[in-house]
Amino acid sequence: MRKTRAQLRDEGYERLGVTPEQVGAVRPLSLLVRKFGGRKSEAIGLLRSSEDSAARAFLEVYDDAPAASRKQLPLEAFCVAAGIPPRRLWEIIAGEKFERDAMVCAAIVGTNLPEIVEKTVEFAKKPGRWRDRMALLEATGFLPTPSRGSQTMVTVQAEHNEWPPLRRRSNPDRFNDRGRSALPPVPDAKETL
């Protein structure tokens, strides 16, 4: 007689030495993997490409489990059995996916760059295509790239008032508040010659 999914799942929990309650008490890693647009198999592949010790510990437990248990049990069960927080495993999976995607993008750009540059030069040579020429010259460093930062323009409309308004002190000797002159005395021009 063939075993049901529930029986296979229960056997898998027993082999790992964890309970469904323990697995339910940790963060939902499987849900994150699904929301991320991936499958369990993709997450395992990303963990295999990692050199992180937590990923290695997880994979030891995962690889020792029978295929039926790996299929039926959520990733969280293997995290609990390996003593690794699901959040740490998620960080590894997301980091590996980010690095892999960045390398794939770099490879796509690198392999297509000669054709792109060729077409850019071709269009830049046509009459009236000054924007293409400017983009090409900026991209190659022959022209400085304009700053794309935020710019603020302030318009001040001056009327008959002074701007900024001057504060006038009633004390005409305002520089001598402490009994000192604000400026040293100027010597007579005849004395210095």
Token pair 């293997």 in the structure block, residue: 78
The average pLDDT across 114-142 equals: 85
Nearest-angstrom CA–CA distance, 120 and 100: 29
Res 81: pLDDT: 92
* Token output for 32: 């994150």
> What percent of the chain has pLDDT above 90?
28
The average pLDDT across 28-52 equals: 87
Res 178: pLDDT: 54
Alpha helices in 38-168 (DSSP H): 40-48, 53-64, 67-72, 75-82, 86-124, 130-140
pLDDT digits (tens, 9 = 90+) for 13-28: 888 899 888 988 888 8
pLDDT classification of 120: cutoffs 50, 70, 90: confident
Contact 62, 49 (CB under 8 A): no
The average pLDDT across 146-169 equals: 58
Res 182: pLDDT: 53
State the angle between helix axes of 53-64 and 86-124 in degrees (0 to 180), rounded to the nearest 10.
110
